[in-house]
Structure 1
Amino acid sequence: MTVKRPNPLKDRPTEDQQIDVLQALRKAPDHMLAITAAAYVDYALEMVFRERMRVDKDEEGRIFEGGGNGMLATASSKITLAYAARFIEKPSRDDLRIINRVRNIFAHSMHQIDFKHPEVAAQCRKLSLIQRRSDMFPDAATADPRSLYWNTCLDFFAAWQFQRRGIQEDGTIQYVAPLDDE
């Protein structure tokens, strides 16, 4: 008996599997961390859109699928529209653009790239996590770019997961009524 393998581009892992992958990225090679963490942030942002927009099954490809030139097929288009639609604020938009830029450096460079590369390190040190978490990163000039990137990606993913579940910053759970289907 053969076990059906998930389609790697269509079937999404469970939330527990997603958390396991994100935790494993802490020790992953830089390339894997940069590209995979950005993919998870992109997926979490897509879920924000799917929950706040009316998406019919027959229109789904026109909105999200890259092969069909979907309106929200790229991370860049999702970031731009999320800001325009007031789903995120300017500091989040700027951080998401940095994550996307760093991901693109790793994904498209023909050179050996790591988080110590001057361009990558400079981008990571622009992330707002430095200001928000001075307890973790007391000095922007010496902050570890890899740690900044990973923690920022993890923050976005976790915040959107908490938001989906109605979990408030103080840990209380607020029931979120589903949107109408009309």
Structure 2
Amino acid sequence: MRILEKLQEISQLRLELDKETDRGCALLGVSYLDEELKELIQSYLVQNNTIQKKIFDNNGGLATLSSKIDIAFLLGLISKETYNDLNYIRKIRNEFAHSKYSIDFNNKEVSKIIKNLKSHYRDSSESSRKIFISTIYGILSKINILKDKVENIKERKEDATKEQQLKDSMAQHRANIKNYHELLIQVHKDSPNKEELIRKEMMDYIKDVQEASVKVLKTVEKTTPPNNV
């Protein structure tokens, strides 16, 4: 899903949060945030589903929101401000999830934590609920912009790796042809009767390299976008 589609999805979430009770708003918002943070981290990691499933599921090292926040910060994926706000939001979620009583955003402890939030565009005089929802929305927007950038970087790295592999392959082919040529010169001196055989092998090899190069170039032309895209 591209960035604009994802931002539309986040906007829809905001409408859903507006319909929820305070407890539902806190739990749903943070649950969605947890999943998006997971996807951001996954987009940065090697794509091995078995290992990723092991570390993100159940008792894995990155199963909790707290661990995801820490690793995202240590990988340089989120700023210190976002790191702090995510931890404040996690604490707010815990207040709602673990309270034996019905509480809302006007709860003294919840309001105190919300005053520390930075990733929103609300005036500090507005309600704690509005500031909380705005912060969720702000962080989700940041995460998805970052996710899009990480995916673009990975694509460029993959393209660069393929290009280097092609260069290495062509260099090896040139070295092999040179070796054939040197062998041909040596055979011409020492065993003239084998010269034609070596020459034929060299020409067959060159033909194979040429055919392989044509296939590679056709593939590159198909996968390389035009300059005006």
In which range does the TM-score fall when normalised by the shorter chain? Answer: 0.7 to 0.9
Distance 1:55 1:70 in 2: 17
Q: CA deviation at 1:163?
A: 3.2
Which residue of structure 2 lines up, in the alignment, with residue 48 of structure 1?
A: 40
Residue 161 to residue 24, structure 1, CA distance change in 2 (3 Å): same
Structure possessing the higher radius of gyration over alpha carbons: 2
Cα pair distance change 1:118/1:160, threshold 3 Å: same
- What residue identity is the alignment partner of 2:20? A
2:50 match: secondary structure? coil
Q: Distance in 2 between matches of 1:84 and 1:106?
A: 28
- For residue 105 of structure 1, what is the amino acid of its counterpart? E
Q: Specify the alignment match of 2:69 in structure 1.
A: 79
Partner-residue secondary structure (3-state), 2:72:
helix
Extract unaligned runs of 5+ from structure 2.
Answer: 162-229
The aligned counterpart of 2:146 is: 163
Moved over 6 A (4+): none
| Counterpart selection for 2:94 from 90, 100, 104 | 104
Tell me if the contact between 1:129 and 1:148 (Cα under 8 Å) persists in the aligned partners.
no
Q: Is the 8 A contact 1:125 1:143 kept in 2?
A: no
**Equivalent position to 2:131, from 130, 148, 153:** 148
* 1:59 partner SS: helix
User: How much identity, in percent, do the aligned residues show?
Assistant: 25
* Counterpart contact for 2:82–2:119, Cα < 8 Å: no
Closer, same or farther: CA 96–25 of 1 in aligned 2, 3 Å: same
Number of paired residues?
A: 152
Q: Deviations over 1:152-178 (max 9, x none)?
A: 111111222233345xxxxxxx95552
CA deviation after TM superposition for structure 1 residue 84, in Å: 1.4
- Per mean C-alpha deviation after superposition, the further-off stretch among 97-106 and 157-166 is 157-166
Please list every run of 5 or more consecutive structure 1 residues that lacks an aligned counterpart in the other structure: 1-13, 167-173
Q: TM-score, normalised by structure 2?
A: 0.60
Q: Deviations over 1:75-97 (max 9, x none)?
A: 00011111111111111111000
Aligned to 1:8: none
Query: What's the offset of the Cα at 1:111?
Result: 1.1
CA distance in structure 1 between the aligned counterparts of 2:154 and 2:75, rounded to whole angstroms: 20
What does the per-residue CA deviation read over 1:45-76, in whole Å, with 9 as the maximum and x for residues that have no partner? 1111110011412212221002xx11110000
- Could you tell me which residue of structure 2 aligns to residue 36 of structure 1? 28
Measure, in 2, the Cα distance between the counterparts of 1:148 and 1:90.
19
What is the root-mean-square deviation of aligned Cα atoms in Å? 2.4
Residue aligned with 2:126, SS: coil
User: TM-score, structure 1 length as denominator?
Assistant: 0.74
Cα distance change on mapping 1:79 and 1:161 into 2, 3 Å:
same
State the AA in 2 paired with 1:77. Answer: S
C-alpha change, 1:121 and 1:80, in structure 2 (3 Å) is same
